[in-house]
Structure 1
Amino acid sequence: MLPVPAVPADVDAIHALRRSLEDWMAEHGTVQWPQGSLPRERVAAQVEAGEWHVVRDDELGVVGTLRLLWTDPDFWGDDRTPAVYVHGLMVDRRAAGRGLGAALLDWAAAQGRDAGVEVLRLDCRTTNPVLREYYESSGFQAVGQVDFADFSCTLLETSLRVGGSA
């Protein structure tokens, strides 16, 4: 199952998946995405901008998503390293354990390689060691931290050069 560009009809499914994962995380004591932190209107604008990609299952609908960006000044500042950035990596809990998250990261890495960029970057909250461990086990290295008024994120990256990790 390869990701395809999201279309306006996917906005509600993307938003619903995010909300379901926010609720699941809250129930399990995981601090990554606070409940209600991504308004539907923002998802719609990001879909319109061509940032979201989705994986659809014939029975379950949208089971995986990610946002693919080519700059990320909010988290990475004025870093001009050619990179591809992943946000909004989500796998429906009903599809968990099938390797979909790893497949989405591999797909994002391929997009970056095809575009000739040097690194794949993403972040996770410093309060989410399980997600950080997942990314590190997938070949990412922590390379910094960014602090906001109410949370901090670990910045992670992996090389897309021949012989790199991703």
Structure 2
Amino acid sequence: MAARGIVQWPPGSLPRERIAAQVDAGQWHVLVDDLRVVGTVRLLWADPDFWGDDDTPAVYVHGLMVDRAATGRGIGTALLDWAAAQGRAAGVGLFRLDCRTTNPALRAYYEGYGFQAVGQRDFADFSCTLLELRVGAAS
């Protein structure tokens, strides 16, 4: 991504220990095809780091990634569909995520899926656009 001028996860911003703890907590989910990982997504039920103290029931996605060799096959959409279904099954009506303001292509991808920008979160060294989509709760 960096070689293409996209700033999303700068080198060193995702320490191995943090990812290992998230995997151990069951937050990461992978899609395997032909015995290799082709996509991954991190699913959360609260996201105070980015969304603050908002206690609105929602499902949150981080770390949506698709293997470059598998692009164009709808894997990102399938992972978003799966995450939205997890939210509906849990009875929540909002699907939320964020992306760096320096990544307009990713924001356009999420908006093409149906997300709408609802805010921005500024940190010391980067800013994120907050996006959400009403998915409806399971009946």
Q: What's the TM-score, normalizing by structure 2? A: 0.96
Code of the residue aligned with 1:33 in structure 2: it is W
Give distance in 2, aligned partners of 1:56 and 1:38: 22
Q: Name the structure 1 match of 2:26.
A: 50
1:118 aligned residue: 93
3-state SS in 2 of match to 1:35? coil
Alignment of 1:124-143 (within 5 A): 124-143=99-118
Which residue does 2:4 correspond to in 1? 28
Which structure's residues are more often helix, by fraction?
A: 1
Aligned residue among 107, 120, 127 for 1:152: 127
Shift of 1:31: 1.1
Which residue does the alignment assign to 1:64?
A: 39
Q: Deviations over 1:27-60 (max 9, x none)?
A: 100111102221111111001001000011125x
Structure 1 moving runs of 4+ over 2 Å: none
Normalised TM-score (structure 1): 0.81
Give the counterpart letter for 1:30 in structure 2. Answer: I
Q: Which runs of 5+ in 1 are unaligned?
A: 1-24
CA distance in 1 between counterparts of 2:85 and 2:71 reads 22
Structure with the higher strand share, 1 or 2:
2
Question: Structure 2 stretches of 5 or more lacking a match?
Answer: none
Give the letter for the 2:53 counterpart: D
- DSSP 3-state at the match of 2:132: strand
CA RMSD of aligned residues (A): 0.9
State the distance in 1 between where 2:47 and 2:79 align: 19
Aligned counterparts of 1:161 and 1:107: Cα–Cα separation in 2? 14
Q: Which residue of 2 aligns with 1:84?
A: 59
Q: Distance in 2 between matches of 1:145 and 1:84?
A: 18
SS in 1 for 2:85: helix
Corresponding residue pairs, total: 137
CA distance in 1 between counterparts of 2:44 and 2:106 reads: 20
| SS of residue in 1 equivalent to 2:80 | helix
Aligned position for 1:103? 78
Separation in structure 1 between the aligned mates of residue 130 and residue 19 of structure 2, nearest angstrom: 23
